[in-house]
């Protein structure tokens, strides 16, 4: 008696899917944006009507990290055996979006990874992050897990992830599908070429066309917070100085006119 065997599947979708490499970003713009904390950037974007900018889930693997850079994107998708799966992972993965996106990395880039918060997908490990580092990448924000975490903590690469796993990237339910495409990461839409700002409060996506407005608004916000902090330290009432009232706003304007608001 013979057993039926499944024929080798014929590919039904050409992988990896990819978009164009996003345009470069002026370093001066990145430097100015990097002076802002994520909390301020997120709040200023919210006031401009852009409300879903926080990438919920990924946390820094080491405290005290901060990055800002152009977003390159990597998208994982659910495995489907007639298209792609991880059974022969070591040979297959090197021809996927996971390998190819690393060759797109330019100095200062931030790689943003859609992995659905998977507990069993090790988006990156030691070797791939070392290569990312050698390419000059600034950091990684992954809505998924990492492997080789002790080694990753020894590398000078800022990384935000949802935790650790012993699994490799396609060992479980996901497969590296596309790069330089829009991704949904931690509830936020990230487009290739967006700007990503990350620190101990988490990661925030800043639409490139909004960056200048965010920087300008943040400078004003920072000035009145410094004024309010000073007045509260001097014994002022919280309700009077945070936020400012009509009366304390006049007091703040006088403080600014005296040149105090231009000091860090």
105-145 per-position pLDDT tens digit = 999 999 999 999 999 999 999 999 999 999 999 999 999 99
Same domain assignment for residues 96 and 218: no
For residue 238, being part of any structural domain is answered with yes
Same domain assignment for residues 181 and 218: no
The pLDDT of residue 66 is 96
For residue 86, being part of any structural domain is answered with yes
The pLDDT of residue 73 is 98
For residue 7, being part of any structural domain is answered with no
The pLDDT of residue 1 is 47
Same domain assignment for residues 222 and 163: no
Strand partners, 73: 112
Q: How far is CA 159 from the centre of its chain?
A: 9
Same domain assignment for residues 237 and 202: no
Domains held by the chain: number? 2
Same domain assignment for residues 185 and 97: yes
- Judged against a pLDDT cut of 70, whether residue 250 lies above it is answered with yes
The pLDDT of residue 88 is 57
What's the whole-model pTM score? 0.86
The pLDDT of residue 171 is 83
Same domain assignment for residues 252 and 138: no
Listed in sequence order, the residues at least 6 apart from 122 whose beta carbon sits closer than 8 Å to its beta carbon are 144, 145, 146, 147, 165, 166, 167, 168, 169, 171
Residue ranges making up the domain that contains 82: 17-208
Same domain assignment for residues 203 and 227: no
The pLDDT of residue 87 is 63
Instruction: Tell me the CB-side half-sphere exposure of residue 234, using CA atoms within 13 A.
Output: 9
The pLDDT of residue 3 is 52
The pLDDT of residue 223 is 84
Averaged confidence pLDDT in the chain: 90
Q: What is the mean pLDDT of residues 228-239?
A: 91
For residue 97, being part of any structural domain is answered with yes
Q: pLDDT class for 11, splitting at 50, 70, 90?
A: low
For residue 10, being part of any structural domain is answered with no
Same domain assignment for residues 194 and 217: no
Residue 12: exposure state from Cβ atoms within 10 A (0-12, 13-18, ≥19): exposed
For residue 3, being part of any structural domain is answered with no
What CATH number does residue 180 fall under?
3.50.30.40
Same domain assignment for residues 194 and 220: no
Distance of alpha carbon 201 from alpha carbon 204, whole angstroms: 9
For residue 8, being part of any structural domain is answered with no
Residue that is last in its domain, among 184, 208, 232: 208
For residue 28, being part of any structural domain is answered with yes
Say if strands 17-18 and 67-78 run parallel, antiparallel, or are unpaired. Answer: unpaired
Same domain assignment for residues 156 and 217: no
Same domain assignment for residues 37 and 59: yes
Task: Check: CB of residue 25 under 8 Å from CB of residue 196.
Answer: no
Same domain assignment for residues 138 and 98: yes
CA distances to 240, 253, 264 from 232, in Å: 9, 17, 17
Listed in sequence order, the residues at least 6 apart from 65 whose beta carbon sits closer than 8 Å to its beta carbon are 139, 158, 159, 160, 198, 199, 200
């Amino acid at each position: 008696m013979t057993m039926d065997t499944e024929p080798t599947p014929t590919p039904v979708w050409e992988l990896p899917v990819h978009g164009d490499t996003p345009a470069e970003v002026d370093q001066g713009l990145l430097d100015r944006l990097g002076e802002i904390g994520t909390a301020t950037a997120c709040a200023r974007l919210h006031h401009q009507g852009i409300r879903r900018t926080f990438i919920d889930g990924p946390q820094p693997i080491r405290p005290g990290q901060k990055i800002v850079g152009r977003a390159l994107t990597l998208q994982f998708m659910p495995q489907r055996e007639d298209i792609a799966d991880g059974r022969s992972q070591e040979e297959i993965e090197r021809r996927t979006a996971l390998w190819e996106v690393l060759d797109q990395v330019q100095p200062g880039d931030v790689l943003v990874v859609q992995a659905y918060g998977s507990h069993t997908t090790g988006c990156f490990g030691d070797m791939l992050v070392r290569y990312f580092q050698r390419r000059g990448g600034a950091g990684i924000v992954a809505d998924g897990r990492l492997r080789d975490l002790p080694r990753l903590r020894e590398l000078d690469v800022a990384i935000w992830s949802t935790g650790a796993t012993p699994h490799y990237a396609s060992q479980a339910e996901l497969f590296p599908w596309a790069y330089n495409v829009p991704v949904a990461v931690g509830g936020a839409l990230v487009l290739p070429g967006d700007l990503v700002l990350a620190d101990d409060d988490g990661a925030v996506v800043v639409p490139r066309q909004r960056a200048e407005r965010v920087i300008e608004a943040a400078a004003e916000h920072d000035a009145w917070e410094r004024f309010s902090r000073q007045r509260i330290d001097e014994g002022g009432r919280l309700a009077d100085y945070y936020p400012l009232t009509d009366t304390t706003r006049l007091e703040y304007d006088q403080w600014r006119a005296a040149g105090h608001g231009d000091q860090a």
